[in-house]
Amino acid sequence: MKAIMVVGTTSHAGKSFLTASLCRILCRQGWRVTPFKGQNMALNAYVTASGGEIGHAQAVQAWAAGIVPRVEMNPILLKPQSNQTSQVIMGGQAVGEVSAADYYEKYFEPGWKTVQKSLQRLAEEFDLVICEGAGSPAEINLKHRDLTNMRVAKHLNASTILVVDIDRGGAFAHVVGTLELLEPDERALIKGIVINKFRGQRSLLKSGIDWLEQRTGIPVIGVIPWLDQSFPAEDSLSLLERPSQKNASGLNISVVRLGRISNFTDFDPLDSEPSVSLNYVGLRDSLGYPDAVIIPGSKTSIGDLLDLQRTGMADAIKEYAAAGGTVVGICGGFQIMGQMLADPEGVEGYEGRFKGLGLVPLKTVITKQKIARQRLVTSHFPQMGLPVSGYEIHQGRSQIMRSESADAEEQSFKAMFDDPHLGVVDSSLSVWGTYLHGIFDNGPWRRAWLNRLRKQRGLSSLPTGIANYREQREVTLDSLADIVESYIDLTPILAHLE
């Protein structure tokens, strides 16, 4: 199997973006391409058709390659939890929770076998794999147990690209230092250097490129400029780099930046709406009075609930809702909005019962058994009869609480979909929550909900007969691939494959 590996000098150098772009570029050239990342640590996950979890970035890369995401593309996914442990997803399924030290002792050998088996299965269907590394390939304290970077590159004899983020500064030192720390057989696989996120005139960089090529003996095969187009990020650190947008003539929607936020890629479709300003609000920031507040997914709902209460953000959200504001909860955020969360087995590290925000009459019990599946349902809100697709990923069973006023409770909260367990909305249509990730990907549904907000502001309605976000994502992937292709020369990389 022919292989290209993309490694970076640092995190956020542009590995995921470059891997997706290469998948689209080479797919258009006629290659049967598949993405691959041996081990990923991320809270942005996607559920495949088989019900397995992989990193969301690998799903995007699969779409860039024109294929369906599958668990072999990301055989190991680590999802950090609040108690300094990570949930281990291997072969798409949760197999345990461990500390970092215990992980390598317990899972390194079976992990490497899983990586090799996944590559073998992909080799049976594809003729080129585009591998993405993680962090840096030169972390000397981790290299002996690394399941993602040069171990995979050597296993495949992959033609390897080293990408560096020049916007951070110190790019030349990052490149030289990384190469110096690689073993000779690892360094020999590096066939090209890509400088990413460059601002300014290319001519001013020429002397530096000449020096770098002479110093390393490796060609700089591309200088990619800073791009304003967004690409789905892997972890929440990227949220700190997103500037707040102000849109005086449109809607302002705030997402609460939970400490354990997960699947914030849910909100990329909202961010893509020209009439929407999407802002991430820290727990100690002023909530203000936006058109809607979203409590996003969380890997540890109870931990984030306690943080909301500790910082005063919980009270701010409740006051906002009491004043008639629109509050939305997605997955963990839906659980947080309820009356009570219980974790009798200490799955999240917070054994006991905890009072939620009390915005919906929901009781949630955290369990060890995870639900991960794709869904296709029909909406009851904000418009009847719309087909809605998405996926569930949660370790919790929720139900509407019954009390002496059960009839009133049932009248004031209605099911959002034909599956009543998937989400509820109150009688004012302003407070709702759902377990469905990817809900905003559904174009007509998204616009129907945005039009309710626009009506409250006295704004005209947007057209609802639009395509789903996946079609817009296809346009974005083509555009990014066009740009990368115009700034990169893959000749040295492809020559190594022959």
Catalytic positions, written as ranges:
331, 437
C-alpha–C-alpha distance, residues 123 and 129, integer Å: 8
C-alpha–C-alpha distance, residues 441 and 439, integer Å: 5
**Beta strands of 166-296 (E only): which ranges?**
190-198, 220-225, 251-256, 261-262, 276-281, 292-295
Helix (H), strand (E) at residue 452: helix 443-456
First to last CA, the chain: 11
Quick one: residue 92, left, alpha or beta (phi over 0 = left, psi -120 to 50 = alpha)?
Answer: left
Q: Any residues with CB less than 8 A from the CB of 256 and at least 6 apart, and which?
A: 280, 281, 283, 293, 294, 295, 296, 308, 313, 317, 333
The answer to whether 9 touches 163, Cβ cutoff 8 Å, is yes
Under DSSP, is residue 51 helix (H, G, I), strand (E, B) or coil?
A: coil
What string of DSSP letters covers 261-318?
A: EE-GGGGHHHHT-TTEEEEEE-TTS-----SEEEE-EESSHHHHHHHHHHHTHHHHHH
Instruction: For residue 39, list its beta bridge partners.
Output: 76
C-alpha–C-alpha distance, residues 159 and 272, integer Å: 35
How many helices, marked H, and strands, marked E, lie in the chain? 15, 27
Sign of CA dihedral 258, 375, 388, 339: negative
Tokens of 496: 């190594």
Q: Any residues with CB less than 8 A from the CB of 466 and at least 6 apart, and which?
A: 443, 444, 447
Return the amino acid letter for 488.
I
The DSSP secondary-structure symbol of 196 reads E
C-alpha–C-alpha distance, residues 187 and 210, integer Å: 19
Please report which residue ranges of 48-170 form alpha helices under DSSP H: 56-64, 100-123, 150-156
The DSSP secondary-structure symbol of 475 reads H
Angle, helices 15-28 vs 469-487, to 10°: value is 90
Q: Tell me: cis bond preceding 382? Omega within 30 of 0 counts.
A: yes
| 253-263 burial code (b ≥16 CB/10 A, e <16) | bbbbbbbbbbb
